[in-house]
Amino acid sequence: MRKICLVATIVTSSLVCFTANAKAVPNLPEVKKELVQYHDSGEYKKQVQAVVDKATEYLKKRITENNKLSQPKKLAVVFDIDETVLSNYIHMKELSFGGTLKDFRLNEFKADDPAIIPVRNFYEFAEDNGVAVFFVTGRKEDERSVTERNLHNAGYSMWKKLYLKPEGYNEKSAVPYKSGIRSAIEAQGYDIVINMGDQKSDLLGGHADADFKLPNPYYYIP
CATH code: domain of residue 208 = 3.40.50.1000
Q: Using pLDDT thresholds of 50, 70 and 90, give the confidence band for residue 5.
A: very low
Residue 221 lies in a domain: no
Pairing of strands 15-20, 161-165: unpaired
Q: What is the pLDDT of residues 32-84, one digit of tens each?
A: 999 999 999 999 999 999 999 999 999 999 999 999 999 999 999 999 999 99
3-state secondary structure of 16: strand
Q: Using pLDDT thresholds of 50, 70 and 90, give the confidence band for residue 6.
A: very low
Q: Using pLDDT thresholds of 50, 70 and 90, give the confidence band for residue 21.
A: low
**Range(s) of the domain holding residue 91:** 50-213
Residue 24 lies in a domain: no
Give me the chain's average pLDDT, please: 91
**How many residues does the structure list for the chain?**
222
Residue 27 lies in a domain: no
8 Å CB contact between 134 and 160:
yes
Q: For residue 194, give the H/E element and its range.
A: strand 190-197
Residue 180 lies in a domain: yes
Report how many domains make up the chain. 1
Distance in Å from the first CA to the final CA of the chain = 35
